[in-house]
Structure 1
Amino acid sequence: MLTDLGITVPVLAAPMAGGPTTPELVVAAGRAGSMGFVAGGYRTPQALAEQITRVRGAGVPFGVNLFVPDRRPVSIEDFDAYRTALTREAARYGVTLPDAPTTDDDHWADKIALLLDDPVPVVSFTFGLPDRATVDALRAKGTLVVQTVTSPHEARLAEESGAQALVVQSSAAGGHSATFTPSRTPPPLPLPRLVRDVAHAVELPLVAAGGIAGPADVTAALRAGGQAVAVGTVLLRTHESGASAPHRGALVDAAFDDTVVTRAFTGRPARALRNEFTDRMGPLAPNAYPAVHHLTRPLRTAATEAGDTRAIHLWAGTGYRHARAEPVADTLDRLAGQE
């Protein structure tokens, strides 16, 4: 898989939706002999197309990551209860919260159409499986289809769906869990063990992800059966990252000494730095993505603009202290043992 894409550094840049992954970050990874993914989640099709054009112009290998829509119904009662619980936070920032749940599909059909009309080398999926017709259509265009999984069971389903490679994500990963069953968080298995378990279940190439902070983590994941690893949190402070200043600062702030898996910000389990919001709202948040994501978005935006880390979604994996302020290429080279 790696040689076919022209990749020589087996440490890939994972997609980080919402701003941290920029075209510059993806290009820098490609120029370093690695590969990055344009983060398609939360972007309009037009914005995604613009980012693809910018990256493609650099002539580097790259992929695009999409969120598979969650079509499960949202409990109006649970939504209203959580909205009420957020009233104090809304008043703090003077924002108005949505009155009703938004359950959009993140422009799914239009994004798939874009990737079929203007194919890219790799497309990866997270949050669930795309239908087989979509997978077959992408493969027919010469696109490598990659599926993110969190267990051997999900890996077998992905293999049956036509995926050609898997990203195996452990619970130590920062940001959203890729689990197909967000009502249950994946068990905290060490990444090498999870990779070995998945390798025994399927015959697809594997990329290991979650909690990778140093060269020893990379070596362990590769020895367990990964062809490569993917990292995200350790790239958040790089020069090419689009992470906000408060987010970058929190990663090195001694006041933030732990991470927690929470639904507080989006209604879907995600690992973040523990803060006041996760402590207060985490136990109350319903399993309701993307409704909770849209509900809390005005709060998170206002908190970020104010630099108030008490209420920002500070996504971070367990290795967050290893994020350095340096070029992407330096981080990838260090992790690959090429310093």
Structure 2
Amino acid sequence: MSEDLTGRRLGHYKIDGVLGRGGMSVMYRATDVRLGRKVALKVMGEHITGDAEFRERFVDEARNTSAIDHANIVPLYDFGEVDGMLYIAMRLVDGSDLAGLVEGGPIAPSRALELLGQVAEALDMLHEQGLVHLDLKPANVLVTSREAANEHVYLADFGLTRRGATGHRTSSGDFLGSPTYAAPEHLRGESVDGRTDLYALACMLFACLTGRPPFRGQVSEIIQGHLGADPPAATSLAMLPPAIDGVLRTGMAKSPDQRFGTCKELIAAARGALAPAAGRPSPPPVQRSGPVSGPQPVQPTPGPRPVPGAAFPSPPQAPVAPPQAPLPPMPPSGDPVRLRPPSPAGSASFATGRPGGSGSARWIVLGLVGAALVVIVVLFVVMATSI
């Protein structure tokens, strides 16, 4: 569809602007004038609305999507036809899509696993109900951080079909959709099931980890890659644990029977392979018997007392006593180290030769006694002379 409907009315929807364009449709931001709420309005291209088989699939998709109730699937509000144009109205998600994130380069493994883990939950629920998404690609994975503490994912823009049916094609046999993430059986128009979506999810995981899809080039080159070529090793494009290459090869196996059984199994295998790069907590430190770094308490060891004002005790000049045990190693910090415990108050270390001790008191008493005797003798002599 080349015509821009911005500013026009489509039924009771006022179209405010373009959100995105695809090969089969244009997604608009619109206002439901009856309810006064913002919606995302998907309007199908006029070049395919005349195809009877496509119109049937469109109605089937809308009815199936409206019956789905899952936290990671965008709610569908309404669908219909106005002036020959088919439309689907769905919840407007305030955020971006996964395609915009991948365009900026590889996504951190932990973030990729968190986002695609939510996609896997939604896909497996669809598959349990006998449905296949069939249009899984980064542009159809909406990411918002406005509705929860962490990033929340909505799966949108379904090309739903029943399990066992063939992939989407027009009555002339043309493939409908983007082949960049399409499974081989989907491209060949063969029977599809949940493993078809699993293949696309593995391609999306490859794109999140490397910043590019597994096969690039012209449309014919991309299709041939999916049909017969091995995907490049993700580890050749990004610094990743080697085990992830095996997980991606299994997820993108050409035969559905060689893939994982469910989408959650794929993500679980990827989580295990990416554990070294996905922020898994490190194991507790190993206790070592030797010296460890950082300030450590030093046990007091008997030895020579340090000389006041000296940084370290002076070595003895001659061996006068049995050798002491070696001192513990100095910690690599600038903290002072006590080489021996302080002597307790009143011990011999502080009693010998201390000013004001018992020896000094004795000499003072003797001096006073001598002085008293001298005074007495002088008084006696004076009195005798006067007589």
TM-score bracket relative to the smaller structure: under 0.3
Larger RCO, structures 1/2 (Cα 8 Å, 6+ apart): 1
TM-score (norm 1): 0.24
TM-score (norm 2): 0.22
